[in-house]
Amino acid sequence: MKKRVIFSLMAIMLIAMTVGSAFAGGSSQQSSGGVTRGMDRKIVMGYSQIGAESEWRTACTNSVKAAATDWNIDLRFSDAQQKQENQLQAIRSFIQQKVDVIAFTPVVSTGWEAILQECKDAGIPTICVDRTVDAPNTLYNTYIGSDIKEEGRKAGRWLVEYMNKIGRGSKNPVNVVELQGTVGSAAATDRQSGIMEILAQYPNYKVIKSQTGNFTRSEGKQVMEAFLKSDGDIIDVLFAHNDDMAIGAIQAIEEYGRKPGTDIIIVSFDAVKGAFEAMIAGKLNASIECNPLLGPQIMDAAVRILKGERVEKWIASEEGQYDQTNAAAAYPSRQY
């Protein structure tokens, strides 16, 4: 009898420890013992993430954490709550912890040269993820992410082709409004630059309003409500720098009394699940994919850098584009 009680208690303790570690929050995710894939020891990575502002960001974070576990890398993860000062503080902490490698997603493009030099002086390699920085690429080891400006060009080209197809391309003017991402971020700057490079070839396309919605649904809805209040009856097109803002704007357009996807043509970025649902419902016209599943590339690059192998300065993501002609077929296999 006594033995059975002791055994049961031990089993309960073992289960509690396992569950507890799986839900451990905070700033670090320690994998089990052993060594990192491809290495003779377990490496430690500091990761400074922007926050959790969108479906895309959450998918990116999940990919990083899953890949750290797969590679058996000790991940020290920090969420900056959208503030660059929190990122700088986290990276300085990683330097003090003497981590083996630092990866970071810069919330804005500027203000990184000093901290990257501190990492370099400390002999810690750095990996820039998802968004680029305005700094010499000698200050970091590699950039892993999309060609964001090309995403903008894709969106511009898709729109012009679609407007011509539905017979509205020669309207003069075609009134365009734009929901920008976070001001100063490479994602917003480069998407806008790509879109405008294409629209500049078509003088009848006029951007009548452009304002940031900070990549969030709630702000996308609020800003679109303001656009509709001032220009609701003349808006032909909405560019949203991400799907979350587009989904918020769709709600605003419906509440205003116009039809999103029909009266107002909407093009956004990311290609998250919410965008596919909106395209299938006919409320979103196109979403240009931006791949957040960067975890495996980050861990692979970290190992190669630490083994002294040559790593290309830009590891580009593969991505496509979706609209109402291919969204339904692609939706079941989407991973985020």
Q: Which residue has the tokens 């082709």?
A: 161
Q: For residue 242, state whether it binds ligand GZL (rule: CB under 6 A).
A: yes
Of positions 104, 143, 205, 215, contacts ligand GZL by CB under 6 A? 215
Q: For residue 131, state whether it binds ligand GZL (rule: CB under 6 A).
A: yes
Of positions 103, 198, 238, 290, contacts ligand GZL by CB under 6 A? 290
Question: Which residues 183-212 are close enough to bind ligand GZL by CB under 6 A?
Answer: 187
Nearest distance from C-beta of residue 282 to ligand GZL, angstroms: 22
Calpha distance 67→72 (Å, rounded): 8
Calpha distance 31→10 (Å, rounded): 23
Nearest distance from C-beta of residue 177 to ligand GZL, angstroms: 18
Between the alpha carbon of residue 262 and those of residues 157, 188, 257, 318, the distances in Å are: 19, 25, 12, 30
Calpha distance 195→318 (Å, rounded): 20
Q: For residue 270, state whether it binds ligand GZL (rule: CB under 6 A).
A: yes
**Over the range 308-327, which residues count as b (16 or more CB within 10 Å of their CB) and which as e?**
eeebeeebebebebbebeeb
Question: Which residues 136-155 are close enough to bind ligand GZL by CB under 6 A?
Answer: 146, 148
Nearest distance from C-beta of residue 185 to ligand GZL, angstroms: 7
Nearest distance from C-beta of residue 242 to ligand GZL, angstroms: 4
Calpha distance 286→197 (Å, rounded): 19
Question: Which residues 27-86 are close enough to bind ligand GZL by CB under 6 A?
Answer: 53-54, 56-57
Q: For residue 223, state whether it binds ligand GZL (rule: CB under 6 A).
A: no
Q: Exposure of 223 by Cβ count < 10 A (0-12 exposed, 13-18 middle, 19+ buried)?
A: buried
List residues near ligand GZL by CB under 6 A: 53-54, 56-57, 130-131, 146, 148, 187, 215, 242, 244, 269-270, 290
